Amino acid sequence: MPTVFPFRALRPTPEVAALVAAVPYDVVTTDEARALAEGNPLSFLHVSRPELGLASETNPYADEVYEAAQRNFTQLVSGAPLVYEDAPSLYVYRLQMGAHAQTGVAACFSVDEYDRDIIRKHEKTRKDKEDDRTRHIVELRAQTGPVFLTYPAQAEITAEAEAVATGSALFDFTAADGVRHTIWRVPSASAEALTALFARVPLLYIADGHHRAASASRARQRLATPGVASEADRFLAVAFPHDQMQVLPYNRTVKDLQGQRPGEFLERLQRTHSVAPGPATPTRKGDVSMFLAGHWHTVTLNAPSTGASPSESLDVSLLNDQILAPLLGIGDVRVDKRIDFLGGARGTSALERAVGTGAAAVAFSMYPVDVADLMTISDAGEIMPPKSTWFEPKLRDGLLIHVI
């Protein structure tokens, strides 16, 4: 059963929270991050993406980058300012995007339980990205952005969190992208209740933030003394009930048709699949919307083979196996430079634009993966194909910091 720990947060004052808060470091390119942070010296992107203030040719993993992160962090603490909570606390964190709202519990969670798979994973991590965030944690002695967790919804936890959310908020602001972020500090009696309720949850699942969690585990190995409990034994996360999660599709573009004309490719595809004119967004699992030569088509994927594993039965896996590999020559989608991925928040217009400008020859709009699929695959010890899920809205870095 997972353990929930209050922590003594380092956080901005309410007056500057909206200026400090920043999108997760890994969902924007360097140019996008630079544009977001421009003119805002308090943006946490100066800490999470410290290369923004260095020469454009700087290696993002150079020593000077981490030195800049530490320097910028120190300046932000005094300049924003950031303040320490007077006692360890839990927090309720609500995200609202349009009509969708989800309310989670922000806390520290056990690195041991992550290592023992009580907190389950569904994604492979890359060593270079682990190395980067591990060093970032070690240099700052802080975890500055939360892991995004989910769990099988429990009515009692939802009710307790909603009760906390009737009180006065610590932070309440709407970011430039229209997402409203509201955070409440949990009173001690409710914190005890939430801690006890989470002890009844069978498992937690990483929805987003696999590299943050893996890096927290590696940083603990470097910072903690064996047999002596420390804050490095815990990592920062926000846990949301599964029935409040919003998963958007992770769409695909392919740069070329491997020497085929659009009509030739379409004819080959029609030999093996049902293809008909259709909308830009698929309406059911098993269908993919394809944008080719200025037109949208609905492609019905063939059913998975008998005995296929849960991960092999996902639409993204079937697309890889039935179309991308045999008809377009896409090999390993993790490394093949001919394929690109666009999070569903960018919309299908981004797919049309990619094809229309010649940046891609064909685009595929996917039906979103269900959270239940994520849990099933994690429970089976399997790994989802890369870029399978895009969770939206996203948490912000810099609002609640866990100092280790």
pLDDT value, residue 56: 86
In sequence order, the β-bridge partners of residue 148 are 208, 238
The pLDDT of residue 61 is above 80: yes
The pLDDT of residue 1 is above 80: no
DSSP of 369-392: PPHHHHHHHHHTT--PPTT--EES
Structure tokens at 232: 């490095």
Max Cα separation, the chain? 67
pLDDT value, residue 345: 84
pLDDT value, residue 100: 97
In 10 A of CB 313, how many CB atoms? 17
Q: Which amino acid is at 325?
A: A
Question: What does the chain come to in residues?
Answer: 404
In sequence order, the β-bridge partners of residue 94 are 103, 182
d(CA 137, CA 403): 9
pLDDT value, residue 386: 86
Structure tokens at 13: 């004052």
pLDDT value, residue 29: 87
pLDDT value, residue 34: 93
In sequence order, the β-bridge partners of residue 182 are 94, 172
The per-residue pLDDT of the chain, averaged, comes to 96
Q: Which helix (H) or strand (E) holds 115?
A: helix 111-115
What is the arithmetic mean of pLDDT over 52-78? Answer: 94
- Contact between 204 and 2 under an 8 Å Cβ cutoff? The reply is yes
pLDDT value, residue 344: 84
DSSP state, residue 118: S
d(CA 185, CA 106): 9
pLDDT value, residue 334: 85
d(CA 381, CA 379): 5
Extents of the domains making up the chain: 4-247+392-403, 250-367
Q: Closest by alpha carbon to 232, among 213, 245, 219, 251?
A: 219
- Contact between 89 and 191 under an 8 Å Cβ cutoff? The reply is yes
Q: Name 217's Cβ contacts closer than 8 Å, sequence gap at least 6.
A: 111, 114, 115, 235
DSSP of 265-307: HHHHHHHHSEEEE--SS-SSTTEEEEEETTEEEEEEPPPPPTT
d(CA 237, CA 201): 16
Residue found by looking up tokens 């509201």 in the block: 182
Q: Closest by alpha carbon to 207, among 253, 245, 181?
A: 245
d(CA 141, CA 222): 11
pLDDT value, residue 159: 98
- Contact between 254 and 339 under an 8 Å Cβ cutoff? The reply is yes
Q: What is the pLDDT of residues 81-110, one digit of tens each?
A: 999 999 999 999 999 999 999 999 999 999
pLDDT value, residue 224: 81
- Contact between 359 and 253 under an 8 Å Cβ cutoff? The reply is yes
d(CA 304, CA 310): 10
Structure tokens at 314: 């996902």
pLDDT value, residue 278: 96
Q: What is the pLDDT of residues 95-148, one digit of tens each?
A: 999 999 999 999 999 999 999 999 999 998 989 999 999 999 999 999 999 999
Q: What is the pLDDT of residues 268-314, one digit of tens each?
A: 999 999 999 999 999 999 999 999 999 999 999 999 999 999 999 99
Q: What is the pLDDT of residues 2-40, one digit of tens each?
A: 899 999 999 999 999 999 999 999 988 889 999 999 999
What is the arithmetic mean of pLDDT over 329-357? Answer: 93
